[in-house]
Amino acid sequence: MNPQLLLGAEAIALAAIDAGISGVYAYPGTPSTEITEFIQQSDVARQKGIHSAWATNEKTAYEAALGMSYAGKRTLICMKHVGLNVAADAFINSAITGVHGGMVVVVADDPSMHSSQNEQDTRVYGKFAFLPVIEPSEQQETYDAVRYAFDFSEEMQLPVLLRITTRLSHARSIVLPKAPRDENPFNPSTDKRKWILLPVNARVNYAKLLDKQKQLTAVSESSFLNKEIAGTGKKAVIAFGIAFSYVMEVRESAQLDFPVLKISHYPLPDKTIRAFTEHYDDILIVEEGYPVYEELLKGYFGNSKFHGRLDGTLPRTGELSPDILAKALGVEDGEARQAIPSVVAGRPPMLCQGCSHRDVFEELNTVFEAYPEKHLFSDIGCYTLGALPPFSAINTCVDMGASVTMAKGAADAGLHPAVAVIGDSTFTHSGMTGLLDAVNDRSPVTIIISDNSTTAMTGGQNSAGTGRLFDICKGIGVEEAHIRTIIPLKKNSEENKAILKEEMEYKGVSVIIAQRECVQTASRKRREKAKETPA
């Protein structure tokens, strides 16, 4: 096999194809989107007939993947960290049912919140669900870990959680692939007691899951993903996942010789860690994200041997880096290494020029001038940038779908007008259920679906409701007369503002679909068409 220069996300995708997956299920979310896109663009995946389509949300993706596993096939699930909150119901229960065909759950965390509303640590979910977690440290190891995870999943009959972070997902390195494996044959599970989580079955399955923990720990003790780097002195480092790469970069560049224990396979190999720590007086715990294992190793009553994010040796929040590590390890030029070249200018995020969301916010701001209360509940997508100047139009952004339900709650409290703005993809992700609540309660809300016919925030993936938003809203129960469609262009501005005003004054549920294609996807289509047109 020839070596390839791959992103970490691409290494995961290639490894999954080579591991014999029959399907990938995902909802786009930075920094995980490129995994599914790689499979969708892969000639090999197409030739093999690997199923791949964007799901409506992470929960539906997870449940579909579980169904493919039930049929005996190997399947990959991809999402960003907050997506696991959406899929958590299915995720936790899948630990009780177990799996049939190998199932790997890739969750991409985003420390420092480069493109996210929080920086939660997915390893906590792994501990919570009693599932094995693998956290590779670089691209080749990521490829190898994915292939291993599918075998391990089938051996243990459990989902395996693969945790990556932004820096690993979006950095490139040389990867040497291995020979591809054939797909599993179609072989649906026949063990009903395993899959029907009636309490009588769930209690038995839960006990079995707990019984497997010793076996999972024993596997971790001998895993190729955990290893010790020999060194000298009484100070040492225990590094987890990609943090190991940061530690080794500092160790090599500063010509240091401290011992390092690398952990990338959980549950924790406690015997390995105990044997390592006995030899040293001070140990720096380096993990990207929460101090998950620092808390565990330090114990509730404290242990002065261990240092890390809890005692301030490392920052409690944000993404780690070799520079931060260098400073914590006493490397004198740590501060200087943090300098950003002057040619790299800081740029605030902004909506694209020509974007339809711009016209929507300008029209909304004008209409709002007539009201003493000017509160706009927003959802999560590129339109959230309407919170920034020059629009400064948005008052809230909490989680996907929350714009609709928060507007409903505020309307129930007496706010008028109660207006929400939500994108077309986010509306089908989790806004529809909130709209049903509003319809059932006849809440006086105006929901603006800013429909650009794509999932623009993550690069233009398919949107589940494209071309059907009117019918969906009508089916949910919104009165047909109060489902209005506008085209957000300057030439339509006066007409659009009149419609906004009319629906804000309506004492019931109204939906305004602001429909105009994303400027980026429209531009891409024009370029592709130009290539296909003979000169």
- Residue 406, phi then psi, degrees to nearest 5: -70, -40
- Tens-digit pLDDT profile for residues 133-167: 999 999 999 999 999 999 999 999 999 999 999 99
Residues 6+ apart with CB under 8 A from 451: 423, 424, 466, 469, 513, 514, 515, 516
Q: How far is CA 169 from each of CA 2, 16, 33, 263, 270, rounded to the nearest angstrom?
A: 21, 15, 10, 19, 28
Rounded CA-CA distance 400/59 in Å is 13
CATH assignment of 4-222, among 3.30.1200.10, 3.90.76.10, 3.50.50.60, 3.40.50.970: 3.40.50.970
Amino acid at 82: V
**pLDDT band for position 525 (cuts 50, 70, 90):** confident
| pLDDT at residue 336 tops 60 | no
Rounded CA-CA distance 495/64 in Å is 43
- Tens-digit pLDDT profile for residues 111-140: 989 888 899 999 999 999 999 999 999 999
Query: In CATH terms, are 4-222 and 356-521 the same topology?
Result: yes
**pLDDT band for position 53 (cuts 50, 70, 90):** confident
Report the 3 state secondary structure along 140-161: HHHHHHHHHHHHHHHHHCCCEE
- Tens-digit pLDDT profile for residues 201-235: 999 999 999 999 999 999 999 999 999 999 999 99
CATH code assigned to 227-329? 3.40.50.11610
Rounded CA-CA distance 316/471 in Å is 48
- Tens-digit pLDDT profile for residues 262-310: 999 999 999 999 999 999 999 999 999 999 999 999 886 678 899 999 9
CATH code assigned to 356-521? 3.40.50.970
What percentage of the chain exceeds 90 in pLDDT? 88
Query: For residue 220, which of 266, 262, 260, 261 has the smallest C-alpha distance?
Result: 266
Rounded CA-CA distance 409/406 in Å is 5
Q: What is the pLDDT of residue 74?
A: 98
Residue 448 backbone class (left: φ over 0; alpha: ψ -120 to 50; beta: rest): beta
Long-range (24+ apart) CB contacts under 8 A made by 273-280 are 273/238, 273/297, 276/228, 276/236, 276/238, 277/236, 277/238, 277/305, 279/236, 280/234, 280/235, 280/236, 280/305
Q: What is the pLDDT of residue 530?
A: 84
| Domain layout of the chain by residue ranges | 4-222, 227-329, 356-521
Mean pLDDT of the residues in the chain:
94
| pLDDT at residue 335 tops 60 | no
- Tens-digit pLDDT profile for residues 412-421: 999 999 999 9
Rounded CA-CA distance 85/217 in Å is 26
Q: What is the pLDDT of residue 339?
A: 64
> Is residue 257 classed exposed, middle or buried when 0-12, 13-18 and 19+ CB atoms within 10 A define those classes?
exposed
Task: Extract the tokens encoding 264.
Answer: 């990338």
To which residue do tokens 């930075």 refer?
Answer: 30
| pLDDT at residue 334 tops 80 | no
- Tens-digit pLDDT profile for residues 353-379: 999 999 999 999 999 999 999 999 999
Bridge-based pairing of strands 445-451 and 510-515 is parallel
The three-state secondary structure class of 417 is: coil
